[in-house]
Amino acid sequence: RALLKDAWRRAGERHNRAWRLAVADASRRAGDCHLAWRLAGELGAAAVRGLPDPDEVPLWQAAWPDCYLETVRRQAGNDELALFLLSIMRTESGFDPAAQSVADARGLLQLIDEVARPAARAQGLEYHPDRLFEPGYNIRLAAWHLGRLLERYRDNFWLAAAAYNAGAAAVDRWLEEFGDLPADLFAELIPWTETRRYFKRVLTAWAHYAFLRGGPMPMPSLDPPARAHP
């Protein structure tokens, strides 16, 4: 990582964008998705707008890297959910397994104790908070939690993303208050700005991942969101 950071600094001093792009791509190939994501971000948001030219594909791959994909796929069970989980990971931690928030959310998918502990218990795993910094353990618990949210919201991915951020109790309350509205209006009425921004970022990342892997683009329904299962 130190060598890659030094190469990035030298490329910046020389204003060599092609070299900086090569360093970001090398970081991704080396498995350091956090560094690749950060370096791609430093190249600017404008560089990843629209559809990529062939020369820009490595930048997109660095900005939306697929590190941990095999682990995520094993836990998710299918590619659709795996890419959705990667999108949450990108939004939550920027692929930093050592991330820790002021609320003590930990690891790649920023799990808090009240979510991680029951997820471990349900799978017959011993629960150790410090293990949340281990990618495999963190991903396994988060995949179980996300699966339960998708069951609760009848496979509505954007409601599950909102609940991952705000908690199921808040989403259930919003469904009771204005859940009869079309989904796009419902989304804009969510009173928590952070949650509105969060699930939009997750869905945007999910679309980028689908594009990069040549799969169908996710198309959230605009029908009124279904009530949660009790």
State the first-to-last Cα distance of the chain, in angstroms, to the nearest integer: 48
Q: Which among 67, 68, 66, 61 is positioned nearest to 22, based on CA atoms? A: 61
Q: Which of 13, 56, 92, 114 is catalytic?
A: 92
Q: Which among 206, 186, 187 is positioned nearest to 195, based on CA atoms? A: 187
**Catalytic site includes residue 92:** yes
Question: Is residue 70 helix, strand or coil?
Answer: helix
**H helices, E strands: number in the chain:** 12, 0
Which token pair is 96?
A: 């930093």
| Amino acid of residue 211 | F
Active site residues: 92
